[in-house]
A and B are shown apart, each in its own frame.
Chain A
Amino acid sequence: MIKVEHIKKAYGNREVFRDLSLTVNDGEVVGIIGPSGTGKSLLLRCMIMLENPTEGKIYLDDEEITAPDCNIDDVHKRIGMVFQNFNLFSRMSVVENVMSGPVHLDNMHPQDAYEKSMKLLKSVGLADKAFLYPNKLSGGEKQRVAMARTLALEPEIILMDEPTSSLDPIMSTEVSSVIRMLKAQGHTMVIATHEMELIRQVCTKVIFLLDGKVWEEGTPDKIFDDADREETRIFVQALKLLEFDVQSDDFDFIGMQTSILNFTYRNGVPETVVNKLLSISEEFVQMIIIQSKGSNIMNMSFAYNQKDGSIDACIRFSGPKLDPDNPVYFFSWPIIQMRADEITSEEIFEDGFTNCVRLKLKK
């Protein structure tokens, strides 16, 4: 069990934590969410004492780890950490990375450490890459090695600082699988992440950080679907919302597709809905922006409904009135109508937009 009591953390005049308390019991998997800069990573670093809180206390079971006479090296052996940027030892091979803790810190014989490490690598699906060096691995593979390295020391608690944020959706899937496996094995974990789908699948408790303290905590269903506090609801809603403003034909369309893929992956959007979304976004870009050579502008927002797995899209754009017989809309509009399950359109006159199309994409 790890208990954080009234910690404060300030850098000069800038206060990050004002009065933060939380408890992680044995067997729990706690998700930490919050806006960027709110201190999610810093909280994990304080829990493992890579940073010292300005005030307050942290207990690991009954031992106060913030006490001056506490042996920090022993604390570090009991708490493991997986970093956002993997932080593998570049001069060691994959298996040596995993062996490093048991050999250097537990004085295990290298042969025994090797056998143990190979079992761990097998469990994360990387036994065949044991003798490669980190620079030969993909991001997802590096993160799995980092997890195996942490597990090799058999920590009581595992902290994960945004374990998938540096990864694309495919690599994130690999790492998420390992996290689910760890949960099934009964490991106590604290995960700082933005991935709602991951939190829903593995976390037993979610903590929302805001303004330097625990703003709200509860089960994933409670926090994501029925939060008590308005700031929590606004934040969670923002996680389910994706918006683009297209002002010219210089817009990064490829980046837009990547953002859509990341958004849908994070929220666990069904594949059929993802395909529809990609298709209609591409058609709108073609129809409104590219055909007009960038003389029109467009705003697209997509909101995900967790309950029925659908997406509500609202596309506002400038240009001629939406008319299927108009050559501008002739080719793309039928495709959009085919892809969307429900579609309404209207004329508007606001912020430079003249048309608004609302679509519902169902699974």
Chain B
Amino acid sequence: MTTQQYIDLIADVTANSGASIVSGIFMTLFLFTTTLILGALLGIRLFMWYYNGNKIVTSIINVIYAYMNYVPMSTFLIFVFYIFFRGNGKLNVVAAIIALSVIFAFSVFYSLEISIKSVSQGEIEAAYSMGYDRKLVLKKIILPAALPMFLFQLRANVIKHVQNTAIVEIISVMDIQMVADIIASEGIVPIIPIAITTVVYILIGFGGARLIDHISAKINRERTAEEQKEWFKHGRF
């Protein structure tokens, strides 16, 4: 490239950068808002099915939940583009909305599950003993008690969601869609490495989580009287 060509390129990018930035911000806000609302609604709906104990739905949710936990978002995006929108480049934003909504839905689901499990069993039992039915217990006792913890977790989830829908992610979404189109045009064979990668991610994530659980159990256990005396003897506290 000559110097003049380089200067012309920079001038061209600078002239169009304002429009690009506005367009990018609009897309980010649109994706963020849409997927936040859809994801929250979906997450709550999934949780209600899970809470009501429908065995088939619960099993499906558990499988998807495990997948969402360990597989990177970009890999999930490729799957969505490949499975639902193979070959149709015009629907990349729709695919992004679906993928990001599902990701946020499961973060909402997980937060609800943890928050609700933290509610005192005694309060729940007292409500049942008074005559509350299952739905009323959830609505009037469990959810209000779980709300503070849920909101605390939701805050972190929303921040993460902002990151997921950032302009950089939008750019990579288009690239990912392009990759998915290429893969789709080659048939089923190219998906095998992606599937293997997915399994590897799940194994690494699962193994990592187990390692942390193991370390946590070692650190968090209560020390015996002998161990404590030994610590004090050696000046540890």
Which residues of A come within 8 Å of B, CB atoms? 48, 50, 73-74, 76-77, 80-81, 83, 85-92, 100-101, 104-105, 146, 149-150, 153
Contacts and interface: CB of A to CB of B under 8 A. Distances in A.
Contacts of B132: 73, 76, 104-105
A74 B130 CA distance: 9
A110 to B, nearest CB: 13
Interface string B141-163: 10011010000000000000000
Interface string B114-156: 0000001011011111111100100011001101000000000
Contact of B131 (A76, A85, A87, A90): A76
B122 A105 contact: no
A73 B131 contact: yes
Given A89-B145, A90-B145, A104-B140, A83 B131 contact: no
A136 B128 CA distance: 25
Contacts of A92: 144
Given A50-B128, A50-B129, A100-B140, A91 B122 contact: no
Interface of B: 120, 122-123, 125-133, 136, 140-141, 144-145, 147
B131 A101 contact: yes
A85 B122 contact: yes
Nearest to A89: B123
A247 to B, nearest CB: 17
B145 A76 contact: no
A87 B126 contact: yes
A342 B123 CA distance: 52
6 contacts: A74-B131, A81-B126, A83-B125, A91-B147, A104-B140, A150-B130
A89 B144 CA distance: 10
A83 B122 contact: yes
Given A85-B122, A87-B120, A90-B120, A76 B144 contact: no
Nearest to A79: B129
Nearest to B146: A91
A80 to B, nearest CB: 7
A73 B129 contact: no
Contact of B130 (A85, A90, A91, A153): A153
B184 to A, nearest CB: 51
Contact of B144 (A73, A88, A91): A91
Chain B at the A interface: SS class: helix
B20 to A, nearest CB: 48
A98 B132 CA distance: 14
Given A90-B145, A100-B140, A77 B130 contact: yes
A87 B119 CA distance: 11
Contacts of B122: 83, 85-87
Nearest to A153: B130
Contacts of B127: 89
Among A74, A88, A91, A105, chain B packs the most CB atoms within 10 A around the CB of A91
Given A89-B141, A104-B132, 10 more contacts: A50-B129, A74-B131, A76-B128, A76-B130, A83-B122, A90-B120, A91-B145, A92-B144, A149-B130, A153-B130
A81 B140 contact: no
Contacts of A100: 130, 140
A284 to B, nearest CB: 29
Among A83, A85, A105, A146, chain B packs the most CB atoms within 10 A around the CB of A105
B131 A77 contact: yes
A86 B120 CA distance: 12
Contacts of A76: 128-132
Nearest to B126: A87
A54 to B, nearest CB: 20
Contacts of A91: 144-145, 147
A87 B140 contact: no
A87 B125 contact: yes
A76 B129 CA distance: 5
Leading 4 A-B pairs by shortest Cβ distance: A87-B126, A87-B122, A77-B131, A76-B131
